[in-house]
Amino acid sequence: MQLLYFGWVRTKIGSGRETLDPPAEVTDVRGLVEWLKLRGDGYQEALQDLETIRVAVNQEMADLDAAVSPGDEVALFPPMTGG
């Protein structure tokens, strides 16, 4: 699974992109985020408040209940500030 991080999610995690193989029990974004938080303090800090996290699955906006599978591209980021 391709994981992408932007904004302060990226700076807190310390990486903008990584390829990971979450365990089979990770089937949705919420499960993925909980699994990521076990990977270290940076992840824990970046993902502690889900209210502030936005998600895209395969470059489409998604919510925490959206399904994820091994070949997906999942991006986690703060609320967008375009314009």
Partner 1 sequence: MIKVQEQDFEIGAELASLTDGNTAVGGLGCFVGLVRDMANDEQISSMTLEHYPGMTEKQLATIEAEARDRWPLQDVLIIHRYGRLEPGDRIVLVATTSAHREAALESCHFLIDWLKTKAPFWKLEESDTGENWVAARDSDDDAADRWSGTATPKI
Binding site for partner 1 (CB under 8 A): 4, 6-8, 10-11, 56, 59-60, 75, 77-83
Q: How far is the CB of 1 from partner 1 (least distance, A)?
A: 16
Q: How far is the CB of 23 from partner 1 (least distance, A)?
A: 26
- Pair of tokens at residue 13: 């995690």
Q: How far is the CB of 72 from partner 1 (least distance, A)?
A: 13
Q: Which is nearer to partner 1, 23 or 79 (CB)?
A: 79
The closest alpha carbon to 1, from 79, 82, 83, 74, belongs to: 74
Beta-sheet strand order (sheet of 17-19): 17-19, 2-5, 73-77, 54-57, 60-62
